[in-house]
Each structure stands twice: as C-alpha cells, then as structure tokens.
Structure 1
Amino acid sequence: MAFIFANVDGRSSLISGGSYFDLEQVSNGAVSVDPME
C-alpha cells in the first residue's frame, strides 16, 4: 500500500485510495500539524 503526502485543510496528511489520515492524530502528536514543517 502506497501513501501520498498531502495538505488537507491545512493539516499534514497521508492519502491512500479514497481515505486520508491526519498525521498529528495518527502519530499522537509526534508529527506536526503544519505540512510545511
């Protein structure tokens, strides 16, 4: 399964298929919400 790094509503996210995953939430805060950091 491949992921695409994306900015979804100003938040760092990974996209796979038709779903996206907020990186701050799935990493328990280890990854910044800001996609530019």
Structure 2
Amino acid sequence: MLLAQNDSLRVENSYLATSLDSTRVRLEERTILQILY
C-alpha cells in the first residue's frame, strides 16, 4: 500500500517537473523572440 502510494507520488513529481521544464522553455523562447524583434 505504502509502496504504491510512493510510486504514484514519484510519477506525479516527474510529471510536474516535466511540465515545469516545458513552461520554462516556452518562456525562454518568448523572451528570445522579444529580444530579436
């Protein structure tokens, strides 16, 4: 029971980290575009 809970938490954490990374990438792209134009 506790192991399963731990696994789901780990999956949730990796998903959150991935979405944070993609958000950061989008922000950097937008910043670069604003600098260029």
Same fold (TM over 0.5): no
User: Which has the higher relative contact order, 1 or 2, with Cα contacts under 8 A spaced 6 or more apart?
Assistant: 1
- Higher helix residue share: 2
- Higher strand residue share: 1
Given the two structures, how large is their TM-score scaled by the length of structure 2?
0.23
